[in-house]
Structure 1
Amino acid sequence: MDPSSLAKLLSPEGWALVNALPPYDEDRAMALATRLRAEGVDPDLAAAALTQSRLRAKARAKLGAFADGMLFTPDGVEQATRLVVAALHARRYLAAGVTKVADLTSGIGADALAFAGVGLQVLATDVDEATAALATVNLRAFPEAEVRHADGLTLDLHAEGVDGVYADPARRTRGGKRIFDPAAYAPPLDAVWALRAQVPALGIKVGPGVPHAGLPADAETQWVSVDGDVVEAGLWFGPLAPAGPGRSALVLRSTAGTGQGDGATAPGTVGRTLRTGPDDVDLVPDVGAVGGYLYEPDGAVVRAGLVAHAAAELGGRLVDRTIAYVTTDSPADAPRPGEAALATGYRVLDVMPFNLKKLKAYLRERGVGSLTVKKRGTAVTPEQLRAQLALSGDAAATVVLTRVDGRQHVLVVEPLGA
């Protein structure tokens, strides 16, 4: 965001306008822009306000109602931590006894918002002046939070009274390309890791694709998913990793609540953590024939390399040593109240070697016109397969394309509870 647009938005007229706009509707945006110009609103201000309206609507999925009082950049929305995950970050620091957190790469302030919201003192910095200004606006309701336009790595942490550090290094180029080399993060990952010598309570958000090779041996590396979407990996050091070093997966699922009345509950989130220490990460799973049930481990479990541990939890075995599908002969135990499932379950209806002609005949006999295709360990694309099958009919089916004992198979399944 350029400084002139920000200045206009922060004027009394601009702030009133952006907060008075109706909920963003892409189909009506052009008509609304035309109306604002006809009413004499400065064209640049109108454009900036409409952009904020659009970004607020997009950010609501991550930040809920907080988004309606915040200002954003497109990159800021993309990189912002979901509020439910940021709240868990904040709880780590509280549980570790931290009182003041330095957020070295605050962006638009999503994590700093969660830190301040639980009563932690926060010193937030960003190297981009406009982004730091937006964070200042977004944290205006929290006297516990101070925002500076600065390079967080230059802070004198001890002089600032900081006893906890958090960083979310930029993992994309200015052109938007994803960066996979941790040395090319901004700031470089090694430079942030080194801060644990000054402040042991160090947390770093990294991309979920971070390779296992080279992960620091003294960190808990936790992959997090929200409703099946793997959103981040986090490196937690010292008192922020009370269970000790190792790898873990945190699976979060949204709940819809239980309706109205005295026993009603509000929408919320349930979770489940699967964890392993440095001495047992090489658990060797059982491998065997496809049973009556198939389970697809959550993406965070897969990314954390804990599929064998999930199989043990589910009381099952892998269909192939290289594939993240677990099979059981009877249904796995349902999650306990307040816990999320580590895997999505299916009832297995049929198993057959992959043969396009036979699969086409199988589906035609059953009148299948709508096909859900899941796959692991095969080069076949769902779109290409559907085109080749030339489906017609009123029935729906789900198939899993995968390897079973090294050979391509088709598993016809139905979701548990269907």
Structure 2
Amino acid sequence: MDQAELRELFSVEGLRLLDSLPPFDSTADVVRTVSDLRKAGHDAGLVAAVLNQAKLRHRATAKFGSFAERMLFTEAGLEQATRLGVAAHHAGRFADAGVKWVADLGCGIGADALAIAALELEVTAVERDEVTAAIAAYNLAPWSNARVEHSAAEEIDLAGVDGIYLDPARRDGARRLRDPGDWSPSLDFAFGLAELYPTGIKLGPGIDRELIPTEAEAQWISVERDVVELGLWFGALARPGIRRSALVISGMGTAEMTAAADSEDAEVGALGGFVYEPDGAVIRARLIGDLARAVNGRMLDPSIAYVTSDEAHHTPFATCFRVIEEFPLDKRTLKREIAARRIGTLEIKKRGVDIDPAEFRTALAPKGDASGTLMLTRIGSQRRALLVERVTF
């Protein structure tokens, strides 16, 4: 979004028109909609701005629920914004630690600042991009305890602040910045603040683990099996005795696995009657060994994140599959077996083998009215294929 589009959107006419639009419908005739709005006397720039915003609000519902209906967004800001449910967990850290005033440095469209303000903490949201800062100010306007500063994080006055939250920008336009020194603000700047204040830092879940300070609590968060972030927590925001955490959020609720360090690997053993696929947050946090022991399981291979057990246990930290049959990982054998079972809808999972699931599925030519799941992996030195089915508890 540029400044011209922002001015159109922030006009009284723009906001009224946006709120008057029916819910966004991706199947609607956009040309017809534009034509109708133009005939009603709205200029082309305004129509383009409000229709784009209506589309963004529709997409934002997945992250913000009904709050999205009264928020404004930019494309990049929505993509990078923290989901509201996750932001609530962040805000809770500050409230539980007794922090009264948080500086949200690199606030984007204001998602985390919104959650902090909702807990009646003072929050200063700082954003270096002028358009994004204006959007954040609009989104935070209902909270008198929140204010937005258009500034670089490194230049803001932190007098009176007793807690810091940072979400360093890790992109320059479409380009991903690999060097943490190039992030805005840099990771060194963020770690420097963590030495002075209770601090939370939001990072991508795939960050080099060597960069994680030993004194930080590292929490990987997944939402509906999608690992969305790594949060590093320092000082009073880090829980005593916890340095590794996997927080799993789903429609079934929230569950957390914690440890003082990476868990020790579980023993390697023979394939049992059940295989567990750990949640990505558990894998990233390196808590697979603890998961295996919780289900009385063992590893199929020390380097592959599958756990096997002779028992089926319900756990929020993994998906449990019943092993129907084991085969050699051979296309001709599997094609014959898939055909014999009339499997037409075939899900393929793989770990530890260099195979493209889409190409492999095409080669097997599944056809029929049944469905099935194949796990392609290694067991010891052998490449194996497991025909499995999900266990419903």
Q: TM-score range by the shorter chain?
A: over 0.9
Q: Is 2:349–2:374's contact at 8 Å kept on the other side of the alignment?
A: yes
Q: State the partner residue of 1:387.
A: 362
Residue of 375, 397, 414 corresponding to 2:372: 397
Q: CA deviation at 1:2?
A: 1.9
Where does 1:10-409 land on structure 2 (aligned, <5 Å)? 10-28=10-28, 29-157=30-158, 159=159, 161-174=160-173, 176-199=174-197, 201-244=198-241, 246-255=243-252, 270-278=253-261, 281=262, 283-332=264-313, 334-335=314-315, 341-409=316-384
Write the letter of the residue equivalent to 2:42.
Answer: V
Q: State the distance in 2 between where 1:283 and 1:90 align.
A: 31
2 CA distance for matches of 1:130 and 1:403?
A: 51
Equivalenced residues, count = 392
Letter of the 1:406 counterpart: S
Deviation per CA, 1:68-110, whole angstroms, max 9, x where unpaired? 1111100000000000000000000000000000001111000
> Which residue of 2 is the match for residue 262 of structure 1?
none
CA-based RMSD: 1.3
Whole-angstrom distance in 2 between the partners of 1:245 and 1:300:
15
| Segment of structure 1 superposing worse, 377-386 or 286-295 | 377-386
**What is the letter of the counterpart of residue 163 of structure 1?**
D
Instruction: Report the Cα offset of residue 186 of structure 1.
Output: 1.3
Partners of 2:337 and 2:263 in 1: CA distance:
40
TM-score by length of 2: 0.97
- Write the distance in 2 (CA, Å) between the matches of 1:122 and 1:282: 36
Aligned partners of 2:263 and 2:287 also within 8 Å? no
Deviations 1:14-55 (A, max 9, x none): 110011111112232232112111222011000000010011
Q: Deviations over 1:332-382 (max 9, x none)?
A: 2x34xxxxx000001111112211111111112112222111111111112
Q: Secondary structure at the match of 1:146?
A: strand
| Matches of 1:80 and 1:48, distance apart in 2 | 20
Is residue 217–residue 245 contact of structure 1 (8 Å, CA) maintained in 2?
Answer: no
* 8 Å contact from structure 1 (residues 120, 144) kept in 2: yes
Contact in 2 for aligned 1:368/1:395 (Cα 8 Å): yes
Give distance in 1, aligned partners of 2:272 and 2:244: 29
The answer to whether the Cα contact below 8 Å between 1:400 and 1:411 also exists between their aligned partners in 2 is: yes
Shift of 1:243: 2.8
Check the 8 A contact 2:346/2:374 in 1, yes or no.
yes
The amino acid across from 2:221 in the alignment is V
Partners of 2:165 and 2:201 within 8 A in 1 = yes
Matched-pair contact (CA < 8 Å) for 2:265–2:288: no
Whole-angstrom distance in 1 between the partners of 2:6 and 2:365? 54
Relative distance call for 1:7 and 1:377 in structure 2 (3 A) is same
Conservation of the 8 A alpha-carbon contact between 2:263 and 2:286? no
* Range with greater deviation from structure 2 (81-90 or 354-363): 354-363
Conserved 8 A contact 2:246-2:258:
yes
Distance in 2 (CA, whole Å) between partners of 1:180 and 1:327 is: 36
Deviation for aligned residue 1:282: 5.1
Partner of 2:386: 411
Q: How much does 1:245 deviate?
A: 5.2
**Cα contact 1:180–1:210 (8 A) shared by 2:** no
* Farther off after superposition, 306-315 or 107-116: 306-315
- Letter paired with 1:30: V
User: What is the deviation of 1:314?
Assistant: 1.8
* Alpha-carbon offset, residue 182 of structure 1: 2.0
CA deviation string 1:57-78 (max 9, x = no partner): 1111001111111111000000
Cα distance in 1 for partners of 2:303, 2:31 equals 51
Q: Paired residue for 2:3? A: 3
How many Å separate the matches in 2 of 1:304 and 1:31? Answer: 50
Counterpart Cα distance in 2 of 1:225 and 1:68: 25
CA shift digits 1:283-310 (9 cap, x unpaired): 1311111100110000011111211121
Amino acid in the other structure paired with 2:19: N
Separation in 1, partners of 2:107, 2:383 = 47
> Matched residues in 1 for 2:114 and 2:98: separation?
18
Q: By how many angstroms is 1:155 displaced?
A: 2.3
Moved over 3 A (4+): none
Over the matched positions of the two proteins, sequence identity in percent amounts to 46
